[in-house]
Homo-oligomer: A and B are copies of this chain.
Amino acid sequence: MGEQIEFNSEGTVTSAKGYLAGGTFAGLKTPGEGVLDLGILVSESPASVAGTYSTNKILSPSVTVTKEKAAGATARGVVANSGCANCAVGPQGFSDAKDLSALAAGHAEVDEDSMLVSSTGMIGVELPMALIRKAIPNVELTSEGGEAFARSIMTTDSRAKHASVSFQVDAATYTIGGAAKGVGMIHPNMATMLCFLTTDADVEAGFLQNALSAAVDLSFNMIDVDGDQSTNDTVLLFSNGAAGGAQITADSESAGVFQEALNQIAIHHAKELVRDGEGAERIFAVTVERAASSADARAGAREIASSNLVKAMVHGKDPNWGRLMMALGKSGIELNEPNIDIFVNDIHIVHEGIAIPYYADAVIAGMNVAEVQFRIALNIGTGVATAWGCDLTEDYVTFNSAYST
């Protein structure tokens, strides 16, 4: 069998076999047509779980509780709410995170310790537990519930974000489904990026965690909307083996295609978050290549993707390469100015550190696209990495300067 990976933009967390999901409106967000704010995802059978979490020193108790529960690398599911970050509310936050997961576990008829919890929304406000208690029974858990689950975790996201990828190993078809919500610190208060991934492959727990960490390093760790980092950021990956077949371990022949599929779905969601960044009109990819090391390439690409000035120049379709140079220099990575080449949408505009007299109108016109490509060749090594950012627009400021009160 081939190892091609099939991408499905209509896929969801329930595209993978053996997962049920659903969502309801509990009253945490402003009511409206189709507005959901409480979702549950559950595996029909015990699953392995891997996770990566915010490194912010101020953490939502929802994250802390999930980290504790996921430490054993097995779980059955996750309950996620939007509209409230359950953060900076004192000891009540821990109590509420535990209660919320216990309520969801009871509804899904799984063990309390196996139900993880994620929250996103306003900080400094307690979860309205009475509303949640009343709403939990309304979450209909079905194998078609992935789209409702994706809607339940939206905050200022303009659209639900979900997709799936499938690949074959021998006779078996495996799927990885995903749901995500917006990066970008969100009006009216900072929010979060959440991503939940499900696979019906049976993946060994140690490899599952390593594969997820590697995929997150290539995707969610390489995007920037506004340089800020939430107290609630979480990525979870469940593996329940419902598609049958042999267990995938780090040594399996299929380890490579699994990793590739996982990278693909993670990068897809990461780019979707950037594309839907607050006020964003277009995104850009920055590839730093021929760096002294991969770490240098990553650091350089991330610094450029997170520069306000670069973001603003993408907004203005301005091939202002001096800002790329400035951000690169600020990153502190190893570089030699007379070796640097810069390409905008593959048009070579800087050679050996000096501007090539390029036809500016063509470069500007080329920047009027949904995804601008910057490529910076340092020409001193073999390290390569890509990061993504969105443009900085007047609307970003308007969104984020509105009252929370």
Binding site for B on A (CB under 8 A): 55-59, 85, 87-90, 122-124, 185, 188-190, 226-231, 307-309, 312-313, 315-323, 325-333, 335, 337-338, 350, 352-355, 360, 364, 391-394, 396-405
Assembly of this chain: how many copies? 2
Asked if residues A189 and B320 are in contact (CB atoms below 8 Å), the reply is yes
Most B CB atoms within 10 A — which of A88, A353, A403?
A88
Cβ A308 vs Cβ B228 within 8 A: yes
Which residues of B sit under 8 angstroms from A315, Cβ to Cβ?
Answer: 397, 401
A307 partner residues in chain B, CB cutoff 8 A: 227-228
Report whether A329 and B394 are in contact in the complex, using a CB–CB cutoff of 8 Å: no
How far is it, in angstroms, between the C-alpha of A404 and the C-alpha of B312 when the chains are bound? 12
- 9 A–B contacts, CB within 8 A, in A order: A90-B338, A185-B323, A190-B326, A226-B308, A229-B326, A313-B400, A318-B401, A319-B404, A396-B397
- Give me the 5 closest cross-chain CB pairs, A-B, nearest first: A123-B322, A316-B401, A58-B329, A312-B400, A56-B329
Known: A89-B354, A231-B325. 17 other contacts (CB 8 A): A56-B330, A57-B332, A58-B325, A58-B329, A88-B353, A88-B354, A123-B325, A124-B350, A124-B355, A189-B320, A189-B322, A190-B322, A228-B326, A229-B330, A316-B401, A319-B404, A393-B397
Residue pair A124, B321 in contact (C-beta under 8 Å): yes
Q: Which of A309, A322, A333 has the most CB of B within 10 A?
A: A322
Q: Is the CB of B404 within 8 A of A320?
A: yes
Query: Which residue of B57, B226, B402 contacts A333 across the interface (Cβ within 8 Å)?
Result: B57
From B352, B401, B403, contact of A392 by CB (8 A): B401
* A318 nearest CB across to chain B (Å): 5
Complex Cα distance, B124 from A56, in Å, reads 38
Q: Which residues of B contact A87 (CB under 8 A)?
A: 322, 325
* Residue in A317, A332, A355 whose Cβ sees the most chain B Cβ within 10 Å: A355
Q: Which residues of B contact A85 (CB under 8 A)?
A: 322
Q: Are the CB atoms of B329 and A57 closer together than 8 Å? A: yes
- Collect the chain B residues with CB atoms within 8 Å of residue A123's CB: 322, 325-326
Cβ contacts under 8 Å, A190 to chain B:
309, 322-323, 326
* Cα-based distance from A387 to B92 in the complex (angstroms): 33
Q: Which residues of B contact A400 (CB under 8 A)?
A: 308-309, 312-313, 316, 392
Cα distance A352–B25 when bound, in Å? 33
Decide yes or no: A318 and B405 within 8 Å by CB, A229-B326, A229-B330, A231-B326 being known contacts.
yes
A208 smallest CB distance to B (angstroms): 28
Task: Report the separation of the CA atoms of residues A330 and B352 in the bound assembly, to the nearest whole angstrom.
Answer: 37
Question: When chains A and B are docked, how far (Å) is the Cα of A172 from the Cα of B259?
Answer: 74
Which residues of chain B have C-beta atoms less than 8 A from A185's C-beta? 308-309, 323, 326
Measured CB to CB, the nearest residue on chain B to A354 is B90
Known: A58-B337, A316-B401. A329 touches B231 (CB 8 A): yes
| Cβ-defined contact, B88 with A325, below 8 A | yes
Query: In the assembled complex, which residues on chain B have CB atoms less than 8 Å from the CB atom of A398?
Result: 394
CB neighbours of A396 from chain B (8 A): 312, 397
Instruction: Report A136 CB to chain B, min CB distance, Å.
Output: 26
Contact A353 B394 (CB under 8 A): no
Q: Which residues of B contact A317 (CB under 8 A)?
A: 403
Among candidates B88, B353, B364, residue contacting A337 with C-beta atoms closer than 8 Å:
B88
Complex CA–CA separation, A151 to B89 (angstroms)? 51
Minimum C-beta distance from A396 to chain B (A):
7
